[in-house]
Homo-oligomer: A and B are copies of this chain.
Amino acid sequence: MNKPTLHTSLTPSVLHLYDVSNSTVVIIDVLRATSTIATALYNGARCVIPVDSVSRCIELGKQIDGITAGERDGKIAEGLVYGNSPFEYPREFIEGKTLVLTTTNGTRLLQMALDKGAKEILTGSFPNLSAVCEYLIKKKQPTILACAAWKDRVNMEDTLFAGAVIERVKEHFHINCDSSQIAETLYGVARNDVFEFMKSKDASHYHRLIGFGLEKDIRYCFTPDVANVLPFYESGKLNIHKW
Q: Which A residues from 161 to 198 make CB contacts under 8 A with B?
A: 176-179, 181-182, 185-186, 188-189
Pick from A77-85, A112-120, A150-158 the stretch touching chain B.
Answer: A150-158
Chain B residues with CB below 8 A from A151, complex form? 17
Cα distance A156–B34 in the bound complex, in angstroms: 28
**In the complex the two chains form, is A201's CB within 8 Å of B176's CB?**
no
Known: A11-B14, A177-B204, A186-B186. 10 other contacts (CB 8 A): A153-B177, A153-B178, A153-B179, A154-B182, A155-B178, A176-B204, A178-B201, A181-B203, A185-B186, A188-B189
Classify chain A's interface size.
Answer: 20 to 34
CB distance from A12 to the nearest CB of B (A): 10
Interface of A is mostly: helix
Which A residues are closer than 8 A to B by beta carbons?
10-11, 13-14, 17, 150-156, 159, 176-179, 181-182, 185-186, 188-189, 201-205, 207
Residue ID in chain B nearest A201 by CB atoms: B181
Identify which of B178, B181, B203 contacts A178 (C-beta below 8 A): B203
> Could you list 24 A-B pairs, sorted by A, with CB under 8 Å?
A10-B10, A11-B14, A13-B14, A14-B14, A14-B152, A14-B153, A17-B151, A17-B152, A17-B153, A153-B177, A153-B178, A154-B178, A154-B182, A155-B178, A156-B178, A176-B207, A177-B204, A178-B201, A178-B203, A181-B202, A185-B189, A185-B201, A188-B189, A189-B189
Chain B residues with CB below 8 A from A179, complex form? 153-154
Residue ID in chain B nearest A181 by CB atoms: B201
